Chain A
Amino acid sequence: MSEEPSEEEVLEEEEEQEEPEVLLAEKRYDEIDEILSKTMKIDKKREWSINDMLDVVFLNKRLGIPVFIALMWAVFQLVFTFGAPFQSLISDKIFGAWLPDLTNAVIPNKIVLSFLNNAVFNGVGTVLSFIPIIFLLFLVLAILEDCGYMARAAFVMDKAMYKLGLHGKSFIPLISGFGCNIPGVMACRTIGSEKDRKLTILVNPLISCGARMVIYTFIAGAIFPAEMVGTVIFSIVFLGVALAIAMAVLFRHTLFKGSPSAFMMELPRYAIPTAKASILHMWERGKWFIYKAGTIIFGIVVLVWFLQVLPWGPTQGGTVIENSYIAMIGHFLQPSVEIFGWDWKTAVALFFGFMAKETVVATMETLGQTADVLPTIMTPLSAYALLAFSLIYVPCVACMATIWREMSLKWMFFAIAYLMILAGLISLVIIGIGHFLLGMPIHV
Chain B
Amino acid sequence: MSDFDTGIGKTVGIYAIVLGLLYIGIGAAKIVLQVSGIGRVGVIPGNDALGGLFFFVIAATYLTGVKGAVNGEYRGLSFLLGGFFLSLVYGIVYILIIGGNAVSYVLGEGDFLWFVQFTPSVWLFIIALPFGYLIGQITKDMSW
Contact = CB atoms under 8 A, between A and B. Distances in A.
A and B touch in the complex (CB under 8 A): yes
Interface of A: 45-46, 48-54, 56-58, 60, 63, 66-67, 69-71, 73-75, 77-78, 81-86, 88-89, 93, 225-228, 231, 234-235, 270
B77 A45 contact: no
Interface string B64-92: 10000000001101110110011001100
B126 interface: no
B61 A67 contact: yes
B47 A84 contact: no
A81 B51 CA distance: 14
22 contacts: A51-B144, A52-B78, A53-B77, A54-B78, A57-B85, A66-B57, A71-B86, A73-B51, A74-B93, A75-B93, A77-B93, A77-B94, A78-B93, A82-B100, A84-B100, A85-B101, A85-B104, A85-B109, A88-B109, A89-B103, A89-B107, A231-B50
Nearest to B3: A48
Nearest to A63: B61
B45 interface: yes
A73 B54 contact: yes
A48 B3 CA distance: 10
Contacts of B107: 85, 88-89, 93
A73 B49 CA distance: 12
Contacts of B82: 53-54, 56-58, 63, 67
B99 interface: yes
Contacts of B99: 82
A81 B98 CA distance: 9
Contacts, number: 111
Given A53-B77, A57-B79, A67 B142 contact: no
A77 B60 contact: no
A191 to B, nearest CB: 30
Q: Kindly state the interface size class of chain B when it binds its partner.
A: 35 or more
A86 B58 contact: no
A83 B101 CA distance: 10
B127 interface: no
Nearest to A50: B144
Contacts of A52: 74, 78
Contacts of A51: 144
A66 B58 CA distance: 9
Contacts of B60: 63, 66
Contacts of A93: 107
A384 to B, nearest CB: 15
Nearest to B143: A49
B139 interface: yes
Contacts of A85: 100-101, 103-104, 107, 109
B96 interface: yes
B97 A86 contact: no
B144 A49 contact: yes
Contacts of B144: 49-51, 270
A71 B89 contact: yes
A48 B103 contact: no
A53 B57 CA distance: 18
Given A53-B74, A85-B103, A225 B47 contact: yes
B142 A48 contact: yes
Contacts of B109: 85, 88
A70 B58 contact: yes
A226 B97 CA distance: 12
Contacts of A69: 54, 57
Contact of A234 (B50, B90, B101, B142): B50
B114 to A, nearest CB: 16
B110 interface: yes
Contact of A86 (B64, B89, B100): B100
B116 to A, nearest CB: 9
A46 B143 contact: yes
Given A63-B60, A235-B50, 19 more contacts: A49-B142, A50-B139, A50-B144, A52-B78, A53-B74, A54-B82, A54-B85, A57-B82, A63-B61, A67-B86, A70-B54, A71-B86, A78-B96, A83-B100, A84-B104, A85-B107, A231-B50, A234-B50, A270-B144
Given A49-B143, A49-B144, A83-B100, A73 B64 contact: no
Contacts of A82: 93, 96-97, 99-100
Nearest to B79: A57
A77 B97 contact: yes
A53 B69 CA distance: 12
A143 to B, nearest CB: 11
B89 A74 contact: yes
A52 B73 CA distance: 13
Contact of B142 (A50, A66, A71, A77): A50
Contacts of B47: 225, 227-228
Contacts of A234: 50
